[in-house]
Structure 1
């Protein structure tokens, strides 16, 4: 079970469910992996549909690491993602959206 309010997103990989999250460390890993000028560039690529498969894979890997799952890049490359490439892209986009969403005000 994932907690969307905490920025978590579910991914089923090789039949196992994972909670992914972009922590600050995971975001730093993501910037390094993609060589992005800024995370805003990455967000803009997703918003405009100009993202690449490499972007999706880097986001998923960073999200796995941020969620506490020490998955290696090689394992992710050979993994069977439930829902295929479209689900992988959806999860990656949702990870970005939830990482930068403003939390609801407590009242």
Structure 2
């Protein structure tokens, strides 16, 4: 089960629930893969609704890797994502939002 307070997002792929999380290493890999100097431009694209399927796939792969998955983007090309592309895009957006959410340090 995914814990949103620690930045985790759940996504069902090929009938199996996976926990995705954007760790620092996953973010660095994402920046490199997308050819970005910073992750801010990707966040801005999602906020403006200008993201591509490539962005979504890269975020899902980075989140899966942050959650311990050892696969590649190629492994997901024929995978069945529960809820389809919209669920994948929502999960990608949640990953970004949760990765940069500032928690309540008094809790």
For the superposition of Structure 1 and Structure 2, which TM-score range results when normalised by the shorter chain? over 0.9
Structure 1 CA distance for aligned equivalents of residues 51 and 74 of structure 2: 21
- Deviating runs (4+, > 6 A) in structure 1? none
Figure out how many residues of one structure are paired with residues of the other and give that number: 107
Equivalence for 1:92: 92
Alignment correspondent of 2:67 = 67
Residues 65-107 of structure 1: CA distance to partner in whole angstroms, max 9, x if unpaired? 0000112211111110000000000000000000000012224
The TM-score normalised by the length of structure 1 is: 0.97
| Unmatched segments (≥5 aa) in structure 1 | none
Aligned 1:1-107 pairs, distance under 5 A: 1-107=1-107
| Structure 2 gaps, min length 5 | none
Q: Per-residue displacement from partner, 1:38-72 (whole Å, max 9, x unpaired)?
A: 21100000000000000000000000000001122
1:18 is displaced (CA, Å) by 0.3
Q: Partner of 1:54: helix, strand, or coil?
A: helix
* TM-score, L = length of structure 2: 0.97
* CA distance in 2: counterparts of 1:58 and 1:94, whole angstroms: 14
